[in-house]
Amino acid sequence: MNHITYGMYSRDQSPKMNANLYGVHPFYMCIENDANAHGVLFLNSNAQDVTLHPEPSLTFRTIGGVLDFYVFLGPTPENVIQQYTEAIGRPHLPPYWSLGYQLSRWGYPDIGAVEQVVKRMAQYGIPYDVQYGDIDYMDRKLDFTYDKEKYAGLPEFMQELKKDGLHYVIVLDPFLSKDQARGSYLPYELGEQLGIWVKNSDGVTPAVGQALAPGYSVYPDYFNPKTADWWTQMCVQFHNVLPYDGIWMDMNEPSNFLNGQIPGCAHNNLNNPPYIPRISDSSLFQNTLCPDSKTFLGDLYDTHSLFGWSEAPPTFQAIKEATGKRPFVLSRSTFVGNGKYTAHWLGDNHALWEDMHTSIIGILEFNLFGIPQVGADICGFYYDTTFELCLRWTQLGAFYPLSRNHNAFGQKEQDPGVFGLEFATIARSTLQIRYSLLPYLYTLFFEAHAFGNTVARGLMHEFPADPQTHEIDTAFLWGSAFMIAPVLQEATRSVDVYFPEATWFDYYTGDKVPDSSHRKHVTVNAPLEKIPLFIRGGYILQTQAPAVRTAKSRLNPFGLIIALDEQGQATGSLFWDDGDSADTVENGNYFYARYTYREGHLKTSIVNNNYRGVDSLIFDTVQILGVASRPNAVVMNGKGIRRSDIHYQENGKLVVHLSVPLGEELDLILQ
């Protein structure tokens, strides 16, 4: 709060401190000295900055638009975000497969290179659900085309991936080449007929910039309803060519390799206003279009930072129409409310230990912004990564809500299979932990969609009255119950973990963290093959035996991890549907159960039981952590469990093996 100023104006800018980046979210949450939280949204899309003062106070400066403030009174941090997402739109429910591990690269030279990656991942048995096609798959980087020489057989290859449970996501950029031979590029020619491009200041001629597409480019004006219809039509028609499963919207700030469009930006108050907010380059048109360009809603001066947001609804709708299934959209540029339609990744980072650390901050921020499906490019986008950095980043990235490895053209390959057996073995075991916890993670996403909750959250979010948690950005939580404490420094084999006042258990052993019921820093061993993970007492986590694809793991037996608090109690819930259909929550086509444990008794309350897919699934394991003594007997639904299926360890971990249908109410009693 020491008079630092942040500029907000969407920009193609690699993540770095104090710079304006890809999206704009003029929202803050504050925890007062009495531990009550509130939030404030300044709903304004113009170029702006905010200065933080030590009083404490904030000063917003905007160069246009409406002074539209929303105040959210909490009083808990989670209440603030629930109220905020109620106002701006709840996050979408992602397709289940998109919670699996994802691989991408700008620089697969041909389809053979992609085939090699798929083979490597299969060779080592590494869990993996999504393969991306960056601009390499396109014919000369033209949207809605594919290279029939270097990527010959791509449609058939994508169908083969589908048979194996893999999904394919394609990139589309928000600019189209205007310089192709007449009759050879129909997406541009149809858009030209409809007159749907962002216009110059005259409101008539298209704004012409230069980006990745060959020659010069025009930019669709997604605020225009005709553009949304055209874009949807193009995406649906292209699905008939390439059977993609999701769309990745890149460079939608909008990015431009020129400063303004041809022939440059006129000198006027829109392009050169009297006050320019504290943005990186002190120009409103560096590497983007001129602010006096015209959109359907008016001047780009007012709507520039909304460009990526305006692209999201038609893309979401296009996937729904093209696939008939739940959409997956990944967007680089975001604005208030984007979470209703898109996931987000944190942009073109670098293979640096510092960037791995700051990615945690970005993930926590976007959960506050109502975009919980968020991750960073695992192992880094720019620069060649190293074995140790990529391995530690893979361990951390296995617990990003969006887990995607992606790197840049010209960098060395960095998929988990390329480094050899040791790396692959560690990556496999870590990703198996992710896959085993996907029912818990998916339930968190349901609760985000239905109630506006966060998925990943800082320790201060759960312990606002503990001031030591307020500055921790080296560890984070999934929901209320699961702590991830990654190694963030080179050549380090231990981590200093702060345990707020609660009961905590080691995920791997079930051991209670000594004296963790008191606020305490503990040095935890973290050999190269391990990322420290902990479970908070008082909560029940849902698990499922992992597999190399979510399509297979979804058929496997379930389990419960019941971590008891000091009172011997715990609660949890499970959401389950087919993972793929649109609007299952809205249509009630799902299973939702709440679990409570107290005084040695586990009970189930089934809230909604309208998905018959649970009928073929079973619970086969219940783990209870923190049991005071070995029980004499365990009874499940009125029947005694065989002694050979009950395993008690001296650390208080009890494992019970059983076989009970998932859709049944569990009634388990320790005697």
Q: Which two tokens stand for residue 92?
A: 């979408």
Q: Identify the CA nearest to 124 among candidates 116, 133, 132.
A: 116
Q: Which residues contact 605 (CB under 8 A, 6 or more apart)?
A: 593, 594, 595, 596, 665
The DSSP call for residue 199 is: B
Cα separation, 500 vs 520, whole angstroms: 7
Could you give the CA distance from residue 628 to residue 630 in angstroms, rounded to a whole number? 7
Per the DSSP assignment, residues forming a β-bridge with 562 are: 540, 624
Residue given tokens 């919207």 in the structure block = 249
- Residue carrying the six token digits 């990654």: 486
Give the sign of the dihedral formed by CA 79, CA 396, CA 560, CA 624. Answer: negative
List, in order, residues 6 or more apart from 204 with CB less than 8 Å away.
none
Could you list the active site residues? Answer: 250, 253
Number of helices (H), then strands (E), belonging to the chain: the values are 14, 38
Residue 489: count of CB within 10 angstroms of its CB: 12
The Cα–Cα gap between 568 and 563 comes to: 9
Element (H, E) at 450: helix 438-451
394: nearest Cα among 149, 23, 102 = 102
Write the Ramachandran bin of 183: left for phi over 0, alpha for psi from -120 to 50, otherwise beta. left
* DSSP string covering 354-384: HHHHHHHHHHHHHHHTT--SEE-EET-SBS-
What is the secondary structure of 590-602 as a DSSP string?
SEEEEEEEETTEE
Give the three-state DSSP class for 457: strand
CB 536 within 8 A of CB 482: yes
Structure tokens at 363: 């993930």
Secondary structure (3-state) at 72: strand
Say how far apart CA 120 and CA 417 lie, in whole Å: 5
Q: Look-up: residue for tokens 């107290």?
A: 598
DSSP letter assigned to residue 220: B
